[in-house]
Chains A and B, each alone.
Chain A
């Protein structure tokens, strides 16, 4: 009986970890190409979640179908912020801390706009399958969570193909390796950074839609996920997509075990503790430095 609880805990941790990975892949992609830690990442996720929520509430759009809309919406939002806010600051050669503060400022604005527009209430979407489960031996698995996991992996796989096989993808890799050399080879690095930031945001847009059937949204939720994404990225190794996967799954399992065996309220503390331990003992991350 005890063993089945442990397996159950690990399985649901892995499933949630898949979603964490999807969020963190966007952050690690942005970092890999632009050397910027996007502290508004969680807030972009929140925008994705609200997009999904309002589509469901107003027109009854199924959360999974809403991915088709939340991806382009967040892509566009990311493009605008990168083109008109972040890029001018980077070009002005501002000190590093200004760039961190800038994305933190964007996050504050998004979170408080949401507070102003949508009130601090918690919203969720309730679908017929929200509480559906499948049973496998002694383990019960939440069906939407299983779908989320599979779709997350599908999207991450598509992203991988895009980065490895297309022209834009190889341009992105070139800019990540050496922006100056990429510029000399005739790559429009400005355009590539805009595309990269937009892709990073589109990924959390998708994650936002995937989260809604199993989670709830409120304006301050972004902060939590920015931290989680950062923890995952550091766990895996900054700039490494494979690292984001490993880090995401690790954080998911750690939190799940912490919640089951220690305390629900302290599970976030456990995530932070592991984060700090990794920073001290293996700052290059669990996977090490590999860039896509």
Chain B
């Protein structure tokens, strides 16, 4: 128990130092490419952390989180383009939309376990993509939506915005994990039947984890739309570039560990930028190879392996 407490203290200290450095970074770094990379790392940290809450801590591996990312992005953009709603409000709307769409998806898929759950979410994400692709009168279909006036125009602005979202996500996750609910999540992951026997409504807690996870994924969808100015169904509902990439980041960093998504996104963003010049369109090759290597040699991910070594 004392080691756990000291670890928590460690994590707090580490977190505070990282935060201070992060807040001061744009004053030092004037290179906008490097700033862009750090923004990407934080985008993936948020996505990884929200996936991890469901996949890592509650044990429900989803292959279709692009559903919430895409719905968030489209909600914010359509509200803005069709109804003139401010994109700042869009961030909240995107999160709420992601959370709302996760309820029927969860009601259908969470009754299933393991790979059935993973792939049925993927199937529903594809259904959503097809609907948005073909409902041209409302969503512009494959043409996509161009945001002429995104919320911010400066890179430093985006930096602080994503830093804020990342902070909010990580604090929320860490808060939940320290509450009763967080322990229920982990109980469901360890043994669903045993958790049920102890009076935990496993389906309810899986659904709560999914809703929170979908909320932050949706918010990130809105950030992504603003940051890139443009979305289309292939980009925001992509299986490889969104759904699988989220899984990869968490598996690489350490599934079910708090810092896993942070470490995972640093490595994945830097590596895929590094290899982009060599493989161009085939940059997912690096993802695939990484998944295989990590699972073969570091089955608990980087943070997970360090933690087991430390506790051993």
Contact = CB atoms under 8 A, between A and B. Distances in A.
B21 to A, nearest CB: 32
Contacts of B282: 112-113, 115-116
A104 B244 contact: yes
A165 to B, nearest CB: 31
A62 interface: no
Contacts of A94: 295, 299
Interface residues of A, number: 43
Contact of A276 (B118, B124, B240): B124
A230 B131 CA distance: 21
A115 B239 CA distance: 17
A230 B247 CA distance: 20
Interface stretch (A128-136, A156-164, A177-185, A264-272): A264-272
Interface in A220-244: 223, 227, 230-231, 234
Contact of A227 (B116, B124, B126, B255): B126
A279 B134 CA distance: 25
Interface string B237-260: 001100010010001000100000
B287 A108 contact: yes
A223 B239 contact: yes
Contact of B295 (A89, A112, A116, A272): A89
B296 A85 contact: yes
B127 interface: yes
A112 B281 CA distance: 8
Contact of A109 (B134, B239, B289, B295): B289
B81 interface: no
Nearest to B133: A265
A127 interface: no
B291 interface: yes
Which bucket holds chain B's interface residue count? 35 or more
Interface string A83-106: 001001100101111101110111
A109 B118 contact: no
Nearest to A275: B123
Interface in B59-96: 61, 63
B112 A108 contact: no
B23 interface: no
Contact of A266 (B124, B134, B292): B134
B168 interface: no
A285 B228 CA distance: 43
A132 B279 CA distance: 40
Contact of A116 (B61, B111, B114, B285): B285
Given A89-B296, A101-B291, A108 B111 contact: no
B288 interface: yes
Interface string B268-300: 000000000001011111011111100110010
B285 A227 contact: no
B119 interface: yes
Contacts of A60: none
B131 A269 contact: yes
Residue from A92, A268, A276 having most chain B Cβ neighbours under 10 A: A276
Contact of A108 (B115, B119, B122, B288): B288
B169 interface: no
B115 A105 contact: no
A3 interface: no
A107 interface: yes
B251 A101 contact: yes
Interface in B121-151: 122-124, 126-127, 130-131, 133-134
Given A96-B114, A104-B244, A106-B288, A276 B120 contact: yes
B299 A108 contact: no
Interface of A: 37, 85, 88-89, 92, 94-98, 100-102, 104-113, 115-116, 120, 223, 227, 230-231, 234, 263, 265-266, 268-269, 272-273, 275-276, 279-280, 283
Interface of B: 55, 61, 63, 108, 111-112, 114-116, 118-120, 122-124, 126-127, 130-131, 133-134, 239-240, 244, 247, 251, 255, 279, 281-285, 287-292, 295-296, 299
18 contacts: A88-B296, A94-B295, A96-B114, A97-B114, A97-B118, A98-B295, A101-B251, A102-B295, A104-B244, A108-B244, A108-B284, A112-B284, A112-B285, A112-B288, A269-B126, A269-B127, A272-B127, A280-B108
Given A265-B134, A268-B130, 20 more contacts: A88-B296, A94-B295, A97-B55, A97-B61, A101-B251, A102-B295, A104-B244, A104-B247, A106-B288, A108-B240, A108-B244, A108-B287, A110-B288, A112-B282, A112-B283, A266-B130, A269-B126, A272-B127, A279-B116, A283-B112
Nearest 6 A-B pairs (CB), nearest first?
A108-B288, A105-B291, A112-B285, A109-B288, A112-B282, A269-B130
